[in-house]
Amino acid sequence: MDPWSANEFAKQLRAVGREQYHDKHPFHRMMNKGQLDREQIRLWVANRFYYQKNIPIKDAILLSRCPLRTIRRKWVQRILDHDGFGDDPGGIEKWLRLGEGVGLTRDDLESERMLLPGIRYSVDAYVNFVATRTWIEGVASSLTELFAPNLMKERLAAFQKHYPWIDPQALAYFRSRPLLASRDSEHGLLLVRTYCRSRKEQEQAVAALQFKCDLLWTQLDALYYHCVDSTRNKTS
């Protein structure tokens, strides 16, 4: 089977986001419509932190598996973006400040006392995926960043409109991510288009992105069940 053309390959990847990205999940839509209460927002922030803090771990694993120095030299910036470097506190620190902004303590997030089992399972599965698949499949799984800028802009607008009780300064993470996500997705897409040469490798890249979208969706499934379905079952 012949490889897709570069344009067709990119089209296949972007189609995954249109069809499967978690911005379409009912929990996410409820959040953007202002339909979550304070405890539900806090639960989302606390559980999402487990994903956030595992991103640089995932990226460090990917670096250890990538044999190309030129790629490692650029990819390492993602770890610095999350862990912080110099005067930049990093994304993890900004998320901790978001937690404080919604009324949680740092220990609430770092202790994992509010972490739901389904979210722990899905995030650990993502780290394991990058640890066990080819490095380029790990890159492909990161291409959810293609769809993140619009999501972050919409999320910021929704939080400012519907959740004014959150300190605006605590929303710094959402302000910082669109530019970084655009930069990272451009680099990731270039790598996937360059190193996935056969049709099989291209299809593996699409499958890796689908897998990542499924994991993000599963995290919101866990939150939706805990916040919505379980509450309905108790009152019915």
- Model confidence pLDDT, tens digit, residues 216-233: 999 999 999 999 865 554
Rounded Cα–Cα distance for residues 202 and 137 (Å): 9
Residue 88 backbone dihedrals phi, psi, to 5 degrees: -85, 115
Per-residue pLDDT tens over the stretch 98-138:
999 999 999 999 999 999 999 999 999 999 999 999 999 99
Determine the topology of domain 6-235 in CATH.
Heme Oxygenase; Chain A (1.20.910)
Rounded Cα–Cα distance for residues 131 and 76 (Å): 16
Q: Bin 133: left if φ > 0, else alpha if -120 < ψ < 50, else beta.
A: beta
Q: How far is CA 99 from CA 21, 39, 63, 80, 93, in A?
A: 24, 12, 29, 21, 10
pLDDT for the residue numbered 236: 45
Rounded Cα–Cα distance for residues 55 and 42 (Å): 20
**Domain edges within the chain:** 6-235
Per-residue pLDDT tens over the stretch 37-85:
999 999 999 999 999 999 999 999 999 999 999 999 999 999 999 999 9
Per-residue pLDDT tens over the stretch 166-192:
999 999 999 999 999 999 999 999 999
